Amino acid sequence: MLVAAQWVTVFTAVVFAAWALYISLVEHPARLASPAAAAQAEFRESYRRAALYQASFSALSALAGIVASVMSHERVWGMAGVIVGLAIPFTLIVIRPTNRPLLGADLPRDGVVPLLVRWGRLHWIRSLLGVLAVAILASRLRLD
């Protein structure tokens, strides 16, 4: 059971981080290069498809990390899992006010781009949470 919890913690943290980095480095800059109406339409579709997966990986990483930490008596597992899990409250509390208008009715052209720029900056925090968790887990690797 311990090895399974550790494996799930690592797997979900890596997938979360990779997905978040892809969005921050590739998808969102491409979105910003599009006309405002197209960028908002793409954001809506992308967000609706990705939200459930990202939230699931975040929650699973937190849960598995806590279980692995309790079972192994090593704080590193719980710490890494909780760091990835922080993406959920961060999204609900900090990013949600930006998401709502972007997911809602069509905004005036001059309102879309500033919100998308803000969203991109905030999403980088999610990406960095994933990278930090993976770095913490990688510190546990034994190469001997």
CB 98 within 8 A of CB 112: no
Express each pLDDT in 3-17 by its tens digit.
999 999 999 999 999
For residue 100, give both structure tokens. Answer: 């709502």
pTM of the model: 0.92
Band of pLDDT at residue 144, cut at 50, 70 and 90 = very low
For residue 131, give both structure tokens. Answer: 């990278």
What DSSP character marks residue 142? -
Band of pLDDT at residue 143, cut at 50, 70 and 90 = low
pLDDT of residue 108: 80
Express each pLDDT in 42-76 by its tens digit.
999 999 999 999 999 999 999 999 999 999 999 99
Express each pLDDT in 18-29 by its tens digit.
999 999 999 999
What number is the average pLDDT over the span 96-124?
90
- Pairwise CA distance, residues 104 & 135, whole Å: 36
- Pairwise CA distance, residues 117 & 105, whole Å: 18
pLDDT of residue 92: 96
Band of pLDDT at residue 141, cut at 50, 70 and 90 = confident
